[in-house]
Amino acid sequence: MPLSRYCDACQVLTLGSAQESWRTVNTKHKHLASIHTGRCIKGVIYYLADIYPTGVCVIMSFDVRYEKFSMIELPSVISKDRVMTYDGKLACLDRRNYLRKLWILEDAENHKWSSHDSISLPVGHFNESLHTCFNLTGCTHAGEFVFVPSVFGKSFYVLFWDPVRNSFRRFVLEGIVDDESLLNNGVQDGSMYALHACPNHIDSQMSLL
């Protein structure tokens, strides 16, 4: 799917099929997909997108089994941000006015969302010694929200926030960047690296046939 222009079709490749070849799947909702968002929940891919020609932000879904696109309207009060998985459901984060509120998708067909006013997410965390911000990337099975640094050096830590206790815990990772690999790639000491985190990853054996 193009990431720099509006389109009403995408290319799909099914691995392991008798005839592995790219094919076109059309949608009646011409849109521009966001490159920074996307979640797969129970065989359905969800991502933020702008609808043509209004540019209104919506959630697009793609059922992998039936190869069908659908459009899900966002709550009128929400601003464009990011999607994540919360309690096995799709959630969208709204962070206007320096506050973060979680919206949960309850019924995709009827565009029904519920807001969790009891969960007021921290805006974020900046570590002056590491010179980096910690960004929300997802949620664990235990209900803790995961904040990871946008960049890191040879060691860093991940923050887990418990909304019930309203407390943070820190998980330190040391030596994740191997010194020898840095030398082989010609990277100098003191360099910073981008971090892409995939919290709550699950290896799914769900049949899509």
List the pLDDT tens digit at each of the 209 positions of the chain: 777 889 999 998 887 767 778 889 999 999 999 876 788 898 999 999 999 999 898 999 999 989 999 999 998 766 666 788 888 899 887 766 555 678 899 999 999 999 876 566 665 566 666 667 777 778 888 888 888 887 766 667 888 888 888 888 888 877 655 554 544 444 445 555 666 666 666 666 555 55
Asked if 10 contacts 1 with a C-beta cutoff of 8 angstroms, the reply is yes
Please give the pLDDT value at position 59. 93
Kindly report the average pLDDT of the chain as a whole number.
77
Instruction: Please return the burial class of 159, using the count of CB atoms within 10 Å of its CB with bins 0-12, 13-18 and 19+.
Output: buried
Please give the pLDDT value at position 1. 78
Please give the pLDDT value at position 49. 92
Element (H, E) at 179: helix 179-184
Asked if 72 contacts 64 with a C-beta cutoff of 8 angstroms, the reply is no
Element (H, E) at 180: helix 179-184
Question: Cα(158)–Cα(134) distance, rounded to whole angstroms?
Answer: 8
Please give the pLDDT value at position 34. 84
In the chain, where are the structural domains located?
7-121, 125-194
Please give the pLDDT value at position 38. 83
One-letter amino acid identity for 128?
E
Strand partners, 191: none
Return the structure tokens found at 116: 């969790």
DSSP 3-state assignment of 165? coil
Percent of the chain beyond pLDDT 70?
67
Please give the pLDDT value at position 204. 60
Overall size of the chain counted in residues: 209
Reported as a single tens digit per residue, the pLDDT across 151-187 is: 766 667 888 888 888 888 888 877 655 554 544 444 4
Angle at 69 between CA 75 and CA 65, to 5 degrees: 120
Question: Cα(39)–Cα(189) distance, rounded to whole angstroms?
Answer: 35
Please give the pLDDT value at position 76. 75
Please give the pLDDT value at position 162. 86
DSSP 3-state assignment of 191? coil
Strand partners, 156: 173
